[in-house]
Amino acid sequence: MEMRKAVAAQGLSIVCASCERYWEAREKGAVGDRCGSILTCGSPLVDRAFPEYRGFITEEAFGRFCFVCGADAIITLRKRLTLRKLGLCAAHRPWLEEERGDRTALPILDMKAAANYLKVDAKELKGHALPAEHSLAGTMLKTEKEWADRYGWDFSPLDLLGVKDKP
């Protein structure tokens, strides 16, 4: 796990860092970011959706975190002819508009706000990530949300977290 974190901290996608094919290639002496995929694998940045991923990330989990860095996703992407939804965080969201060779944007079929455990609109979070669901802060937010829903109170997770600035 520490090795996975280290290569991800150096810029390798968190998905690649957790893929068995990447580590198999390291064991065989591969250099750089080359993995042991049979066909061409990769992220939406190279018109793929990690088709050869082999590891512990579940299909449902792919949409909950950013495929680049692992932060909480604010949107999910799905490429044409694929079922896998991939998450993207606030920090990497602008990558969708960056010019890439002869294309002006990534080929995305749909973008939907990623569901979060509070079931609040991602726009309401203004790009901020929620604390982990089962952390103390996450549990407290879920309780506050439950009470707000039950008693008709206003619920603002950012106010409860004391967040005033942009991310």
CA–CA separation, 74 and 94 (whole Å): 12
Which of 115, 132, 159 is where one domain is finished? Answer: 115
Looking at the structure, tell me whether residues 80 and 152 fall in a common domain. Answer: no
Give which of 90, 97, 101 is closest to 46, Cα–Cα: 101
Domain count along the chain = 2
Asked if 124 and 145 sit in the same domain, the reply is: yes
Compute CA distances 128 → 3, 24, 30, 90, 117, whole Å. Answer: 28, 36, 37, 7, 14
Residues 88 and 140 in one domain: no
Residue 1's SS3 state is coil
Query: Could you tell me if 41 and 94 lie in one domain?
Result: yes
Give pLDDT, residue 104.
Answer: 45
Q: Do 166 and 105 belong to one domain?
A: no
Residues 17, 7 contacting (CB under 8 angstroms): yes
Same domain, 103 and 31: yes
Alpha carbon 21 to chain centroid, angstroms: 20
How far is the CA of 121 from the CAs of 12, 65, 115, 126, in angstroms? Answer: 30, 16, 8, 9
Say how many C-beta atoms besides its own lie within 10 A of residue 129's C-beta. Answer: 17
Asked whether residue 55 falls in the same domain as residue 91, the answer is yes
pLDDT of residue 113: 61
> For residue 108, what pLDDT is reported?
58
Residues of the chain with pLDDT under 70: 98-115, 165-167
127 and 111 housed in the same domain: no
Are 123 and 139 contained in the same domain? Answer: yes
pLDDT at 124: 78
Do both 32 and 100 map to the same domain?
yes
63: containing domain = 2-115
Q: Which residue type does 87 have?
A: G
In a shared domain, residues 131 and 163 = yes
Residue 99 shares a structural domain with residue 124: no
